[in-house]
Amino acid sequence: MLQALPGDFKPAIAIVQHRDRSSGKSLSQTLQQESRLPILDVEDKEPICPGCVYLAPADYHLLVEPGQFSLSVDPPVSFAKPSIDVLFESAAEVYQSSTIGVVLTGANHDGAEGLAKIKARGGYTIVQDPQTAECASMPEAAIARSVVDRVLPLQRISPLLIKLCSPC
């Protein structure tokens, strides 16, 4: 999905992937090979800069604060740490209707509650079509909550993000 975004894509992107602590920086290195945007492993109190992709570290929740990220060692949420719900809920609180949440393939229901918060704050919600997901549980959980604006195959999500984030 990142490879389809242009190098001048302005919004900041935060990614939460359920992964093991031993993965280290391998995920960010792999993503960087596929992206024209810089991929950064988030540090606590890291400023949020336009056009950057931020990756939540393993074993920490990623939270959005005004103008920066923070990391939390709180217990898992929805059986996950980092939790997509934690990221989405904090982003919706700070950026309100400017927030776009995207849930892709994954196990359990993480992300569904966070999408509901984004939707309640006037943001936009996108879910990968479960039929195209390697693991459909997370997309299906979000769809079941009836808080999804668009359900799309993976290859159609980036073009929609570009359209949504382009000036009128």
Question: What is this structure's pTM?
Answer: 0.94
Summarised one tens digit per residue, pLDDT across range 23-53 is 667 788 888 889 999 999 999 999 999 999 9
**What is the predicted pLDDT for the residue at 28?**
83
Q: Is the pLDDT of residue 19 over 80?
A: no
Please state the CATH superfamily assignment of the domain spanning residues 2-165 in this structure. Methylesterase CheB, C-terminal domain (3.40.50.180)
Which parts of 46-153 fold into alpha helices (H)?
84-95, 112-120, 137-144
The 10s digit of each residue's pLDDT in 99-153 is: 999 999 998 999 999 999 999 999 999 999 999 999 999 999 999 999 999 999 9
Domain ranges across the chain = 2-165
Dist. CA 93–CA 58, nearest whole Å: 23
- Per the CB < 8 A criterion, the answer to whether 107 and 137 are in contact is yes
Q: What percent of the chain has pLDDT over 70?
A: 96
